Amino acid sequence: MKIGVTCYPTYGGSGAVATELGLMLADRGHEVHFISYAVPFRLSGFRERVFYHEVEMAQYPLFEHAPFTLALAVAIHETAAKCELDLIHVHYAIPHATSAWIAREMLYPERELPIVTTLHGTDITLVGLHPSFHKITGFSILRSQGLTAVSEYLRDETVRDFGVPQDRIRVIPNFVNTERYDRDKEPCHRWTLAPGGEKIVMHVSNFRAVKRVTDVVDVFARLARSVRARLVLVGDGPDRPLAIARVEELGLKDKVVFLGRHDSVDELLRCCDLFLLPSQSESFGLAALEAMACGAPVIATRTGGLVEVIPEGIAGNLFPVGDVEAMGDAAIAVLSDRNRWRRMSAAAREIAVGHFSAKRVVPVYEAYYREVLAGRAAPALAK
């Protein structure tokens, strides 16, 4: 197949999933064309059958906001026509599903371009609900020939808030490359991150308000009172200054390291002893899954799709949003009992490999594409 892929190229789970999926599809013999405004962050080096098409954006003094949705539609249209794409898979509905729909309309009737849209999270639960986006999001996703959601939770939210019939949405969970995300692989930076042999607690995110990074610091503060540990924060975003301020306020500067954005998260997660994800909301929690693949138990919030990824008491523990005391106590319990940690670590890896490995999930996407191409999945409302 010749597959177009559109995603946000910046750090974030949807771009990570889109890129890993594209690369694995190329490994499986498909031709993959990424169409975005920059090279996706996990796309590096030469890969056979992988192409990148940059969206060209003209600037004009009249535009206070350049119309990216239109420029993307043109780029999808052009790539589809020139490279004879069989389908376009867009990740994150806004504005990608709309641009894909415009491109499809522009191509018709010379060419059919089936659209698969994967819903990732805030495109449905937050941004998509805003009055300026709600109608166009509903309109566009209903015009995709294939529609997937990364969790049952996200599917149900889409049914409730956008009136999409449940049978039109296929739940295909996110996945992890369990060969690369593996505690036993090298390199691992344990002795650089924790030279004194401390336990390594990690959080990886885009530091947006929804991640509650100050809760990460509060949970760690409670843990650090009784366990020798270091907190490694990976990523960057608007709440980083808040997290830095909290670390200083709690006198934790010597125990916390801010690494900023990092391309090889797998290398870091390999030495993670405990992963913290106390989010306000999370449609899936890809970062938690990547940590689990590396054998790290997870302390997270009982919210959204996290319950589908982290079975309570087995690979980690889940708590109400904001309950930093309970999360801190659970962190102490896991890290101070060697047997308990070993059990949870093994279970985390087992769940990642057994349910969410790339080897299992990528063929599910492939089969879904075939269904879409055969016209057997989620028929669009319009032609």
Contacts to ligand GMT by CB under 6 A: 8, 12-15, 17, 120-122, 150, 174, 210, 281-286
Instruction: Specify the residue, 98 or 104, whose C-beta has the smaller distance to ligand GMT.
Output: 98
Helix axes 358-373, 338-356, angle to 10 degrees: 20
Cβ atoms of 212 and 321 within 8 Å: the answer is: yes
As measured in angstroms, the least distance from the Cβ of 119 to ligand GMT is 9
Could you tell me if residue 277 is left (phi over 0), alpha (psi between -120 and 50 degrees) or otherwise beta? Answer: beta
- Closest C-alpha to 280, from 330, 334, 205: 205
Query: What whole-number distance in Å separates Cα of residue 308 and Cα of residue 288?
Result: 12
Structure tokens at 107: 């191509």
User: Mind giving me the DSSP string for 117-161?
Assistant: EEE-SHHHHTGGGSTTTHHHHHHHHHT-SEEEESSHHHHHHHHHH
Instruction: Specify the residue, 227 or 299, whose C-beta has the smaller distance to ligand GMT.
Output: 299
Instruction: Specify the residue, 279 or 317, whose C-beta has the smaller distance to ligand GMT.
Output: 279
Instruction: Specify the residue, 120 or 222, whose C-beta has the smaller distance to ligand GMT.
Output: 120
Instruction: Specify the residue, 16 or 229, whose C-beta has the smaller distance to ligand GMT.
Output: 16
Instruction: Specify the residue, 83 or 210, whose C-beta has the smaller distance to ligand GMT.
Output: 210
Contacts of 249 (CB under 8 A, 6+ apart): none
As measured in angstroms, the least distance from the Cβ of 276 to ligand GMT is 15
As measured in angstroms, the least distance from the Cβ of 118 to ligand GMT is 8
CA 20, 21, 26, 29 dihedral sign is positive
Query: What whole-number distance in Å separates Cα of residue 66 and Cα of residue 64?
Result: 6
As measured in angstroms, the least distance from the Cβ of 251 to ligand GMT is 31
As measured in angstroms, the least distance from the Cβ of 178 to ligand GMT is 17
Contacts of 254 (CB under 8 A, 6+ apart): none
Instruction: Specify the residue, 145 or 148, whose C-beta has the smaller distance to ligand GMT.
Output: 148
As measured in angstroms, the least distance from the Cβ of 22 to ligand GMT is 14
Instruction: Specify the residue, 282 or 329, whose C-beta has the smaller distance to ligand GMT.
Output: 282
Residue nearest to ligand GMT (CB): 121
- For residue 300, what are the CA distances in angstroms to 223, 226, 267, 340? 15, 20, 22, 17
As measured in angstroms, the least distance from the Cβ of 356 to ligand GMT is 11
As measured in angstroms, the least distance from the Cβ of 373 to ligand GMT is 24
- Closest C-alpha to 266, from 348, 219, 202, 194: 202
